[in-house]
Every structure is written in structure tokens, then in C-alpha cells.
């Protein structure tokens, strides 16, 4: 094989590989409504727990997250596609209403989102005060 044929084939291989990688990267991600809700909820909880944020930064980020969570919670609650899906994730999401639908649950209980979350996971002031530091 001559050098020019080799370079021609190599160039064609590079173009084909680049095209394939571009098509794969451009394929849409198919996350469902529950997965989107869980991702946004995790981001909001991370914002709550990051100690490096100032109170004003935390408040700003939480306000944005709260609006997105309200929308995503409504989408999940009205999603007809979830009716036929009986996966463990879907069952768990609806079984743990207070943890999955943080904004709606907090609003119904007239609590702050963070207070509702702490109560749902069983973290109370009394539990914190009675905790002991040390190895398990």
C-alpha cells in the first residue's frame, strides 16, 4: 500500500470516527420526569448543606431551585406516563411523598423546605443535642 492510499484511508477513518462521535454526543438524553425531579432535588439539598455559601448566596440559589422544583413536582404529579410504570424508583418516589415532593409537602405543613426535610429524615433538635461524638 502506498503512502498516499494509507493517508487517504486514515483521513476517511478520522472523518468517519468524528462523525460517529458527533452523532452519539448529539443524541438526546431520555431522563424521565422523576429522574429530573430527583436531580433538581439533589442540587437543592446540596445547596442547603454547602457551608461555603454566604446566607445571601444560599437564599438566591434556593429561590431559583424552589421555582424549578415546584414546576418539576407538578410535572411528576401530572405525568400520565408514570401510571403504567411500576418500577422501584417510581414506587419509592410516591411512597416517600415528604422527601420526593419537598416544596409541596413543606407548603402543606406550612414549614420551611429545610425544616420539612430534616423532619422527614428524622433529624430533630433533640436528636442533635443527644448525639455523642466518638467512634461507632
**Digit-coded pLDDT (tens) for 28-41:** 556 688 889 999 99
Q: Report yes or no on 136 lying in a domain.
A: no
C-alpha–C-alpha distance, residues 3 and 6, integer Å: 5
**What whole-number percentage of the chain has pLDDT above 90?**
33
Model pTM greater than 0.85?
no
121, 109: one domain: yes
Residue 37, in any domain of the structure: yes
135 domain residue, yes or no: no
Q: Are 44 and 69 in contact (CB under 8 A)?
A: yes
Range of 54's domain? Answer: 33-129
Q: Same domain for 4 and 43?
A: no
Question: Residue 81: pLDDT above 60?
Answer: yes
Total domains in the chain come to: 2
DSSP assignment, residue 80?
A: G
- Going by pLDDT thresholds of 50, 70 and 90, the confidence category of residue 27 is very low
Residue 30 backbone phi and psi in degrees, to 5: -110, 70
Q: What is the pLDDT of residue 64?
A: 92
Amino acid at each position: 500500500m502506498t503512502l498516499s492510499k494509507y493517508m487517504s484511508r486514515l483521513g476517511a477513518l478520522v472523518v468517519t470516527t468524528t462523525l460517529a462521535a458527533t452523532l452519539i454526543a448529539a443524541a438526546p438524553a431520555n431522563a424521565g420526569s422523576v429522574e429530573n425531579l430527583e436531580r433538581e432535588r439533589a442540587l437543592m439539598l446540596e445547596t442547603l448543606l454547602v457551608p461555603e455559601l454566604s446566607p445571601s448566596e444560599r437564599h438566591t440559589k434556593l429561590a431559583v431551585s424552589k421555582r424549578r422544583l415546584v414546576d418539576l413536582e407538578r410535572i411528576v404529579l401530572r405525568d400520565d406516563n408514570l401510571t403504567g410504570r411500576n418500577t422501584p424508583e417510581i414506587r419509592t418516589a410516591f411512597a416517600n411523598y415528604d422527601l420526593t415532593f419537598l416544596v409541596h409537602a413543606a407548603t402543606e405543613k406550612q414549614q420551611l423546605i429545610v425544616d420539612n426535610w430534616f423532619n422527614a429524615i428524622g433529624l430533630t433538635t433533640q436528636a442533635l443535642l443527644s448525639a455523642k461524638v466518638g467512634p461507632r
